[in-house]
Structure 1
Amino acid sequence: MELIPSDTRTTATEDGGLNLLTPEAWKALLSRYSHIVLVANSEAVDFERLRSELPETALYVFFNNVYKVLGEPFAGHAVLVARSGVMGANIVHRREVGDVLRFFAGDDFRGVINLRVSPEENFSEESRFNGAKARHLDLTQMLGDLYPTGKIATSGFAMALWLAELQLPGKILLAGFSAKRSEKWKVFDVHDWTFEQIFLRLFARMGSISMMGGVDASPYSALAKRFPDVPPIEIAMTAAEVLSERLHNANGQIDRLMSVTKSIRAIENFFRRFKPKTRKERFLEKSRG
């Protein structure tokens, strides 16, 4: 990552191993790019379209396990967001740093952003990223009163909201943010995907960000064009009514499945007791004891 003017740096934390920047420093660092593209780990990402439509002055932001979207080293300005967990950055404690950073071998790689969005998450020191330049970004306060209780924000959502609030001169583009389970990659229930999609699409309609495929592909836009005399609130209420009925019917089918699979789940839970504890579970037990 490029050097930051000394008057915009923050001081390191007490342990001396973290690099935290002020909002002004981040803005100075990111304002040189015409576009900042957040690339989701999703099969919905259209790299061919991205590279053909965007200039070389775009910065591509990747997340954690980039082998989900990259098959070869990336040529272009790029940064890697390494999400933290209770044991530090996930790619660090899972020993995946080398596997991920091999996709960013060129001079255009701007380094790692170790992201924290919850008080339970902990940073990893810069030295743990195999020589890559690392900065640390703490968004716990920004998301504390915003995100639904009991859930935790995805890295992509947190970064999109933070970048929008920085009010950068460049455009913010979200690529592949579909929140859909694919045949290859799953989505995690710890995140509130519905809340995030509503929030991001409202942001897009306000012009704060752009979404490749998200808002402009909405079928409800066609309804507004077909019924121009119907107020938008009526269209929204009708759509909500239909969706509510479909959800009610789906819940009935889910209840049936839960009943049918009760014995299978009982057997699974019995054998789970004999499964060896993960490194994360051992770490948590040790920290509590």
Structure 2
Amino acid sequence: MSGAGEGAAFGEGEALSRFDGFERVILVANSDAVDIADLQARHAGALFVFFNKVYKVLGRPFAGDAVLVARSGPAGANIVYRREVADVLRLVSGPKFRGIVNLRVGAQERFSPAADFEGATVAHLDLQPMFAGFYPSTHVPTSGFALALALAERFGPGRVVLAGFTARRSEAWKLFHDHDWTFEQVAMRALARSGLIAMEPGRGERSPFDALCERFPAVSRETVALVAAEVLGERLEGTNMAVDRLVSVTKPLARVDKALRALKPRTRKAKLADAATKPAT
């Protein structure tokens, strides 16, 4: 695998086999909308899949069947170069822990060697070829979205459940702009409406448009979708006009910000990424 880096010894089938043998596979987003106790009560015996910084959703060690997905970046697995492996494993490595899947989705992402994961069993999964030409080229897929589509294709309808995939910024956690959140939400909700995956509403939430159609049966989902697209288009155009004005006003500040950023020392992440791309001597 070109650019995958050291440790990319596991095939896609072997890595995906970590998720086999369960009637339900619950993908748990790092989101405020997740209620782990409620999910466990309603999905007894399911495999729970956690991502990277699991302390965002786990306040205590998880005792059920679990897999940890560790996303890679240009400097290797994020939890490795941030030295968070031990902290994360303390929350998921119970007796039913099925190991770590080091995930690569972007072309510049590199695997970390299995030896870097504090003794945990590791498989490497390269999904970058799956999304080449499919996902918007200006962004890279989130780990949850990439894995959800891969598992949906592997298992078929009904087995993959997404929990907390709201794509909403909260006071505690931010959204990274290198992912196309709008595309992912449209794709996941379309797959859910088609029955290929299931999406948990999250802490009692439900779509207000579903409630509207139930209250007024004469209003179809198709009508709501068309009207919503019209309204959103109008509001987006209004937002774009306001943004254009703001950009014009803040251009001098942007130039100052760019100059100050150029003076900042290189981060450890950037140095590790450079070292990983240097040819061996």
Say if 1:186 and 1:252 are closer, same or farther in 2 by CA, change over 3 A. Answer: same
Change over 3 Å in CA distance of 1:169–1:227 after alignment to 2: closer
**Pairing partner for 1:162 from 150, 154, 161:** 150
How far apart, CA to CA, are the structure 2 residues paired with 1:231 and 1:185? Answer: 35
**Deviation of residue 102 (structure 1)?**
1.4
Whole-angstrom distance in 2 between the partners of 1:88 and 1:243 = 39
Indicate the residue corresponding to 2:21 in structure 1.
Answer: 32
User: What is the CA distance between 1:108 and its match in structure 2?
Assistant: 1.1
Q: Which residue of 2 aligns with 1:279?
A: 268
Q: Taking structure 1 as the reference length, what is the TM-score of the superposition?
A: 0.85
Query: Aligned pair in 2 of structure 1 residues 288, 254: CA closer, same or farther (>3 Å)?
Result: farther
Q: SS in structure 2 opposite 1:83?
A: strand
Q: Tell me if the contact between 2:99 and 2:120 (Cα under 8 Å) persists in the aligned partners.
A: yes
Cα distance per residue 1:185-207 (max 9 Å; x no partner): 10011101011001101111111
Q: Distance in 1 between matches of 2:250 and 2:26?
A: 43
Residue type of the partner of 1:264?
L
Name the SS for the 1:198 alignment partner.
helix
Q: CA deviation at 1:150?
A: 1.2
Aligned to 2:78: 90
- Report the number of matched residues: 274
Tell me, in whole angstroms, the C-alpha distance in 1 between the residues paired with 2:6 and 2:252. Answer: 53
Q: Post-superposition shift, 1:17? A: 3.8
- After superposition, the Cα gap between the structure-2 partners of 1:236 and 1:188, relative to the gap in structure 1 and judged at 3 Å, is same
Aligned pair partner of 2:50 in 39, 46, 62: 62
Aligned residue for 2:206, secondary structure, equals: coil
Q: Which amino acid aligns with 2:10?
A: L
Flag the 1:252–1:169 CA change in 2: closer, same or farther, 3 A. closer
2:32 matched residue in structure 1: 43
1:167-206 alignment to 2 at 5 Å? 167=155, 171-206=159-194
Once residues 15 and 116 of structure 1 are traced to their aligned partners in structure 2, the CA distance between those partners, rounded to angstroms, is 10
CA distance in 2, matches of 1:191, 1:97: 24
Equivalent-residue separation in structure 1 for 2:178 and 2:12 (angstroms): 29
Query: What whole-Å deviation, never above 9, does each CA across 1:101-132 have from its counterpart, x for those lacking one?
Result: 11123211111000011221111111110000
User: Is there any run of 5+ residues in structure 1 with no aligned partner, and where?
Assistant: 1-13
Report matched runs for 1:1-289 at 5 Å: 17-21=7-11, 23=13, 25=14, 29-55=18-44, 57-167=45-155, 171-213=159-201, 217-226=206-215, 228-229=217-218, 232-285=221-274, 287=277
The more displaced of 256-265 and 63-72 is 256-265
Corresponding position of 1:10: none
| Aligned 8 A contact 1:36 1:170 in 2 | no
Deviation at 1:28, TM superposition (A): 5.2
- CA contact 1:31–1:168 (8 Å) conserved in 2: no
Taking a change above 3 Å as real, the CA distance of residues 27 and 117 of structure 1, as seen in their structure-2 partners, is closer
Q: Secondary structure at the match of 2:91?
A: coil
- What residue number does 1:5 align with? none
Whole-Å separation in 2 of the counterparts to 1:210 and 1:51: 16
TM-score by length of 2: 0.88
Q: CA deviation at 1:218?
A: 2.1
Contact 1:115 1:137 (8 Å CA) reproduced: yes
- Unmatched tracts of structure 2, length 5 or more: none
Question: Percent of aligned positions with the same letter in both sequences?
Answer: 50
- Counterpart contact for 2:12–2:126, Cα < 8 Å: no
Q: What is the rounded CA distance, in whole Å, between the counterparts of 2:112 and 2:32 in structure 1?
A: 29
Backbone CA RMSD of aligned residues: 2.6
Q: Deviations over 1:29-50 (max 9, x none)?
A: 4332221110101111122321
**Contact 1:30-1:168 within 8 A present in 2 as well:** no
Q: Matched residue of 1:147: which SS?
A: coil
Distance 1:106 1:188 in 2: 30
